[in-house]
Amino acid sequence: MKMRVGAKIALGFAIVVLIQLAMGGTSYYSAGQVQDQVGAMQRANQRVELVSSVDQAFTAAVLESRGYMLYGTEKYAKAAEQQYSLAIKQATALLQVARPEKKAEIEKLIENIKKYQDGVQNRLFPVVQQFHREKNSGAVNAVQSKTLEDRQLEIGQTLAPLTEAISKTMNAQVADNRKVTADRLVESAGTAGTVQTTTLAFSVAGLILVIMTSIWQTRMVTKPLLTVVARVDELAQGHFDKDIDQSYLKRSDEFGDMGRAFDRMIRSLRQLIGNVSQSAEQLAASSEELTASAEQSAQASNQVAVSVTEMAHGSEKQVAAVNDTSAVVQEISATMEELAATAQDMTTLANDAARATGDGHQAVDQAVDQMKNIGTGAQKAQGAAGDLESGSRQIEVIVGLISSIAGQTNLLALNAAIEAARAGEQGRGFAVVAEEVRKLAEQSEQAAHQIKELIGKNDANIKNVVEVIGVTIREIDQGIHLVSQAGTGFAEIRDKVESVTRQVEEISKAIGEIASGSQQIVHSMKDVETVSRATASEAQTVSAATEEQSASTEEIASASQALAKLATDLQTSMGKFRV
């Protein structure tokens, strides 16, 4: 029968209580028997004492009667009467305490004593009184004296059977009561032996049951606890490849509940460690690809900077418009630097690096948009402006998606912190990493919001650039070739970033859309190339923006290297766990 731990402990106490009750009941019953036997012996002793009192009083009465017969003094007659009365009184008391089967004998004894008293006082004493009176007066002769003596002897002979009967009855009473006392003593001795034997047997049996119950309960409690403690020590050493003994999982008591809960915890930790190890491997591979892409992006940015510095001439309005565009690009680049600076810790560097790369593409695309719009004619400028506005909307959607992903990352970090808290001491380091993930996700969301605001400002600048480029459209044809090369470099950056972002959750979709938008910006930059050749000041502004983009790309590469190192460290840490 399956029982809970509380029921088993209660059963052990119930066994001890039953043993105590059995011992108490036996002792109480035995004590009652001994008390009955002692009472019987006390009553027998009382009867013996009363028989002795009757015998003493009757003997004294006979002696006093003989004294009266010898001396004729009245004091002997009175003393004899008192002793007879005392003997009858003691015999009556004996009748009250006599056993039922002996009451008839006691009544016969009282009757014989009364008959003897009557014979002595009413028959013998008058003859004795007459004899002594005549003897003292000298009126009695020898014949009369002999006659009186014969009468006394005759009366004495008639009383002799009564004396013998009285003596026999009292002796029988004494012998009977002594026999009762002896029998009770034997019974008491037997009862005492039985009590001792029973008490000893119950005591030994109770001691054995108590010891067995204690051992059973101790093993019942300590064995499961020792098993769990041993398994916890193995977990502390990183051994997650063993399961809890099935015998404890099948128990229906509290230890079974504890074992099943512990087994569920081990399985959850085992799955979590496996997921973290797999993510660490993917993160390491993605960070290496991101580093290579960042280096290629830096080379392309340098080529763009060299090409843009060759732009010679341009109108003053075009210079002002491009300067405004460069200011916007600088603000976007500054936002990208803030986003890249947050990528400093653990596995979240992959997500932050991907966001920083996306921001870099966005900044370059916006700069190219501005340059293309400068060199576009009136109608092309309007079409390009429409395309740029559509691209801005797409970027806003993408930024919103990035913000949503940052929120989801924050929730995932919170869930990871909760799971780490459940893991206890082993999960403390993971909890710190989860907290850093949450902070970085919040910073990423703030950066995305800033980018969205900058995009709004950029729309107004795009319109100004369109107006300026409408005047100088004929002067930008010579820069198309160089800008095409820059567009090709940024296209390669886009391809590399797409390859990296496929390894990092949902951000891959966002980067893909950004790359698509950048393709439109590349087409517009072909028109800006002619203006760049004619406007040296505008080319310098764009060159400065490109240099800032190159610096941002270098920061991304550095962050990717740090991310790869952290991924390697994470893999090493996960390798300590055996699942």
pLDDT at position 104 is: 92
In this prediction, residue 364 carries a pLDDT of 55
Say if residue 330's pLDDT is above 50: yes
Q: Name the token pair of 537.
A: 């000041």
pLDDT at 480 over 70: no
pLDDT of residue 162: 83
Least confident of 81-85, 506-510, 524-528: 524-528
The whole-number average pLDDT for the span 295-315 is: 60
| DSSP three-state, residue 98 | coil
Contact 343, 566 (CB under 8 A): no
Question: Which is more confidently placed, 315 or 442?
Answer: 442
* pLDDT-based confidence at residue 293 (cuts at 50, 70, 90): low
**pLDDT value at position 325?**
47
Contact 293, 493 (CB under 8 A): yes
- pLDDT for 138 equals 64
Question: Tell me, what's the pLDDT at 523?
Answer: 64
Q: Give the model's pLDDT for residue 35.
A: 72
* 3-state secondary structure (DSSP) of residue 262: helix
Higher pLDDT, 100 or 191: 100
The answer on pLDDT for 407 being more than 90 is no
- Name the percent of the chain lying above pLDDT 70: 56
Mean pLDDT of the chain: 72
Range name among 44-48, 83-87, 439-443 with the lowest pLDDT average: 439-443
Backbone angles phi, psi at 239, to 5 degrees: -90, 95
Decide if 2 contacts 257 (C-beta within 8 A).
Answer: no
How far out from the chain centre does Cα 486 lie?
66
User: What is the signed CA dihedral for 459, 460, 465, 466, rounded to 10 degrees?
Assistant: 80
Rounded to whole angstroms, the Cα distance separating 68 from 79 reads 9
Measure the CA–CA gap between 236 and 577, rounded to whole angstroms.
10
Q: Are 336 and 359 in contact (CB under 8 A)?
A: yes
Beta bridge partners of 578: 239
Instruction: Give the torsion through C-alpha atoms of 20, 22, 26, 31, to 10 deg.
Output: 40
Q: What is the mean pLDDT of residues 176-191?
A: 78
Where is pLDDT greater, at 533 or 99? Answer: 99
Query: Which of 80-84, 244-248, 510-514 shows the highest mean pLDDT?
Result: 80-84
**Looking at residue 60, what is its pLDDT?**
92
Structure tokens at 283: 């993160």
Average pLDDT over residues 257-272: 74
State the average pLDDT over residues 244-248.
68
Q: What is the mean pLDDT of residues 278-287?
A: 69
Q: Give the model's pLDDT for residue 522.
A: 46
* Per-residue buried b or exposed e for 414-448, using 16+ beta carbons within 10 Å of the residue's own CB: eebbebbeebeeebeebbebbbbbbebbbbbbbbb
Beta strands per DSSP E along 171-275: none
Q: Maximum Cα–Cα distance for the chain, whole Å? A: 205
Place of tokens 């015999």: 91
Among residues 194, 206, 214, the alpha carbon closest in space to that of 19 is found at 206
**How wide is the angle at C-alpha 487 spanned by C-alphas 484 and 488, nearest 5°?**
90
The predicted structure's pLDDT at residue 312: 46
User: According to the model, what pLDDT value does residue 90 have?
Assistant: 92
Per-residue model confidence as pLDDT tens digits over 525-567: 456 456 445 555 665 675 676 677 667 667 766 776 776 677 6
Q: Between the CA atoms of 126, 130, 131 and 134, what dihedral angle is there, to the nearest 10 degrees?
A: 170
Identify the band that residue 329 occupies on the pLDDT scale cut at 50, 70 and 90: very low
One-letter amino acid identity for 447?
A
Tokens at residue 551, please? 């610096």
For residue 92, give the amino acid letter: T
Residues in the chain: 579
Let me know: does 187 contact 37? Beta carbons within 8 Å. yes
Contact present, 553 and 507 (Cβ < 8 Å): no
C-alpha to C-alpha distance for 571 and 232, rounded to whole angstroms: 23
Which conformational region is residue 238 in: left (phi greater than 0), alpha (psi within -120 to 50 degrees), or beta?
Answer: left
Q: Which two tokens stand for residue 292?
A: 């290579």
pLDDT surpasses 70 at 131: yes
Q: What is the pLDDT of residue 518?
A: 46
SS (H, E, C) 305-367: HHHHHCCCCCCHHHHHHHHHHHHHHHHHHHHHHHHHHCCCCCCCHHHHHHHHHHHHHHHHHHH
* Residue 46, H or E segment: helix 5-71
Q: Sign of torsion, CA 570 572 577 579? A: positive
Of 103, 4, 91, the C-alpha closest to 49 is 91
